[in-house]
Structure 1
């Protein structure tokens, strides 16, 4: 595993920051250990705490780790209603030999699998869901033309392309995984999605990976989102794809807490004080004025996307490219998710 010195030339970074922020005596760089995609480095610059985002070392896909795209959207949102970190600067290459950008490090906490002690009462628990929905609504109501993101994506045909893209990912992974086990339900799910793509969906800025562990909550109470993180999948497209993704990772009290879901999603939202998935959708409609139609489609698409990622994880495990326990779990996890998607299609998992 790479450490900070493998990911940054400290001397070059110090010069880069000094030119923009002024010189300091205290300077340190530490690699953030969590995350599966872009690298995150915590930088102490005098009395300032900064974050550097850069691609992982080695070969990367053209768009999968496009940190400058991430910088562009975060920078465009600086003066609006969407909470994002303050941007400092970006560079295409020369300093680290790869693109990167620098932003402020926000004070607060990310909730991955554990509830924060300060949010352990009914009002705070309800407030977490309200903050998540209200912030998502703020993202989806950004005037993307006005903030300079009019060419940030191609929203026409976005939803159909999502189905095609994840179908192609399954096809790639199945070349490796079908010798171990098959998942015949996937073809049925993909066909159902292709036949049920909503006509003329709305076009907004979308985050692409909006869920609890991609926001940071400010210190204190009541819950307040200090910043939305991890914008590398953002584009212009169908906002209900974001909502469906959030719902997939939001467990309800009646959900079966399988080992798989407890590995991927926080189980604390099953407490009766939290908003249910249905209540999240109701609040989204209130905040945006949008009636959420075709909710089964967007929920199935979210499961399909996660299952495709899981099948790619399992393929990489079989190839010997990863010994991550989660990757190995996908041998049974993807069939479980496929069954989940079929149950949504058949109406057995209503909101």
Structure 2
């Protein structure tokens, strides 16, 4: 945990923030005043950046024995629609009321004057996020399998929520969701790239020509993967919180299953930039096929078209990652020395894998 220094990321005061060419991400006196207003702790604060997000940013804030998590969008200027903290907080409040394991929303700040963008505070959940290291309490072969199973079972529970009535129904229209996704991301490519990758248009055309009929309507998380789940700090494997709801909406539940399985690390599969929990390549974890089979056994949805949803997931991810790569090339991500430059080859790899799911190119034999 860092005590709060002056610097590019965090400054002590609003006056210091005004003197910077690039706005900071945290302004200590502004955050302190906001905590005072909402009765969170007393005394000085300490902060630590947490999570692996490439867009929205998350900080653990400690103050006088109290711990909360602050979540905000990136530095402006960026389209607010893609980093809507107010909507994200509202979604979590609604889902918590339906029994979904999400952190409690403590306070929401709509005033841009505080940090330059809206943000919210949520409760800190004690637990473990599984990424590059297998937690010791989940390391046995049985617990590895249980961890994978818990990922699927939590998704099934989310997709079972009735979205036809109440406030959840106001989150969007599930009708035409897949068609809108293809159209929206096709348009995003041209404004977010500075290079020619013909596979984007080719895959987009294939998706548009082969739209499956949605079998159900559900809350779609939009970035559902093991790395966005918080597991209990002791065995057995149990999901305590689902995180990062920035892309959630109402739509086709198989979009989440397609993303989960297409981005899930599996022994023998080629790596992509979305391999954020590589430990599932180890023995004991369920395979992609087993994840899908478990989901189907609990929902009875027909998974014949799952490769279409997997193609959509990786194609969208390639377009999103290309936006990050373009910002890095323009010098808009000066602190990014790893992820941004890796996307020069990473985006084409995503497109290649998407094309394999679509059957547009042959899948290499293992």
Asked if Structure 1 and Structure 2 have the same fold, meaning a TM-score greater than 0.5 normalized by the shorter chain, the answer is: yes
Secondary structure, aligned partner of 2:58:
strand
Q: Does 1:30 align with 2:54?
A: no
CA distance in 2, matches of 1:334, 1:55: 23
Q: Match for residue 50 of structure 1?
A: 68
Q: Match for residue 128 of structure 1?
A: 147
Q: Match for residue 301 of structure 2?
A: 290
Deviation at residue 234 of structure 1 after TM alignment: 0.7
Indicate if the aligned counterparts of 1:74 and 1:85 stay in contact, CA closer than 8 A: yes
Unaligned ranges ≥5, structure 1: none
Range with greater deviation from structure 2 (7-16 or 211-220): 7-16
CA RMSD of aligned residues (A): 2.4
Q: Match for residue 10 of structure 2?
A: 3
Secondary structure, aligned partner of 2:9:
coil
Unaligned ranges ≥5, structure 2: 1-7, 13-23
Q: Does 1:222 align with 2:236?
A: yes
CA distance in 2, matches of 1:274, 1:76: 32
CA distance in 1, matches of 2:265, 2:39: 43
CA distance in 2, matches of 1:187, 1:56: 29
Secondary structure, aligned partner of 1:77:
helix
CA distance in 1, matches of 2:364, 2:99: 34
Q: Does 1:235 align with 2:246?
A: no
Deviation at residue 194 of structure 1 after TM alignment: 0.6
Looking at both structures, which has the greater relative contact order when contacts are Cα pairs under 8 Å and sequence separation is at least 6? Answer: 1
Deviation at residue 313 of structure 1 after TM alignment: 2.9
Is the alpha carbon distance of 1:314 and 1:10 closer, same or farther for their aligned partners in structure 2, counting shifts above 3 Å? Answer: closer
Is the alpha carbon distance of 1:48 and 1:57 closer, same or farther for their aligned partners in structure 2, counting shifts above 3 Å? Answer: same
Q: State the TM-score, normalized to the length of structure 1.
A: 0.88
**Runs of 4+ that moved beyond 6 A:** none
Q: Match for residue 221 of structure 2?
A: 207
Q: State the TM-score, normalized to the length of structure 2.
A: 0.85
Is the alpha carbon distance of 1:46 and 1:219 closer, same or farther for their aligned partners in structure 2, counting shifts above 3 Å? Answer: same
**Structure 1, residues 145-170: CA drift from partner, whole Å, max 9, x if none?**
55522111122111111112222222
Q: Match for residue 157 of structure 1?
A: 176
CA distance in 1, matches of 2:62, 2:328: 36
State how many pairs are aligned: 341
Deviation at residue 16 of structure 1 after TM alignment: 3.6
Q: Match for residue 311 of structure 2?
A: 300
CA distance in 2, matches of 1:236, 1:300: 20
Indicate if the aligned counterparts of 1:3 and 1:31 stay in contact, CA closer than 8 A: no
